[in-house]
Structure 1
């Protein structure tokens, strides 16, 4: 178990050295989740993300991502990707300081990572979200968003994005 003391978030200087391509994706994920202002941490590498997820993302990071969706509806997003009902999300707004669970944090992070990747591939967040909500031949006519509820489904979606990115017939 992570102690409360280890979950105290440190603020890293905003002018931290930039990372290569993986750092660019990390910045995009961070931005989807509200940036360093919401996360109370400037992510410099994936290990920072790991530590943040162990402690639980702030509920406001979920609010930020929900507010940035352009195609996917709130209810569908919450249920399919985070495993939370719309009602539970609305009740959590009464206690915004309570962090998400590790599982919810991990699922939210994974969705943000997939959305960033799909946005890079399809050229816009709106197109990426449309892709997530439509049946895909390479996924046996499953909608990618329907597969994000399990680690095996996430792996299928990520593998399919790999094939698309490398122009392998998908």
Structure 2
């Protein structure tokens, strides 16, 4: 959220955007790190470079490309492989948005849980506060994403159920 006096993003917002961009390999994979949610939106509309998704996938410690991951990203493993082989072709806005959202959730979970490894493992474990669903499974729909984000806020504030 911008500061009303300066119309600049708050430091927390800048840090969040930087953390997400870092998971996507910025600055080497992105033309620039977005400085505001609007810049992120415009970047996603134009399509993330496929190498941003490739960087995210190659740097996962625990998560693997399975059915839940496919649904979270909105792309099959074979389509991902074609994107990597093609190199320069950007992701669609839909694929870009899903990739960004996964990185955003992973960044938030890392911040709350203390390590990327713990955050990735958390995404794969059934959560009592999510009716025993794995968070990664819920990332397949906007409603599920909202549930995961709300659950992360509860975890951040020490409210688990």
Same fold (TM over 0.5): yes
Give the C-alpha shift of residue 38 in structure 1: 1.1
Unpaired runs of 5+ in structure 1?
A: 1-16
Counterpart CA distance in 2 for 1:77 and 1:22 is: 28
SS at match of 1:142: coil
Hey, what does 1:65 align to over in structure 2?
56
Hey, what does 1:92 align to over in structure 2?
83
> What is the root-mean-square deviation of aligned Cα atoms in Å?
1.6
Hey, what does 2:11 align to over in structure 1?
20
Paired residue for 1:80, among 47, 51, 71?
Answer: 71
Give the length in aligned residue pairs.
154
Q: Residues 78 and 86 of structure 1 are in contact (CA less than 8 Å); yes or no, is this contact kept in structure 2? A: no
SS at match of 2:28: helix
TM-score w.r.t. length of structure 1? 0.85
TM-score w.r.t. length of structure 2? 0.90
Give the C-alpha shift of residue 19 in structure 1: 5.1
Paired residue for 1:108, among 83, 99, 111?
Answer: 99
Give the C-alpha shift of residue 40 in structure 1: 0.8
Counterpart CA distance in 1 for 2:56 and 2:101 is: 12
Counterpart CA distance in 2 for 1:153 and 1:19 is: 27
Q: Which runs of 4+ in 1 moved over 3 A?
A: 75-78
Unpaired runs of 5+ in structure 2?
A: 1-7
Query: Residue 143 and residue 45 in structure 1: after superposition, are their counterparts in 2 closer, same or farther (change >3 A)?
Result: same
Hey, what does 1:42 align to over in structure 2?
33
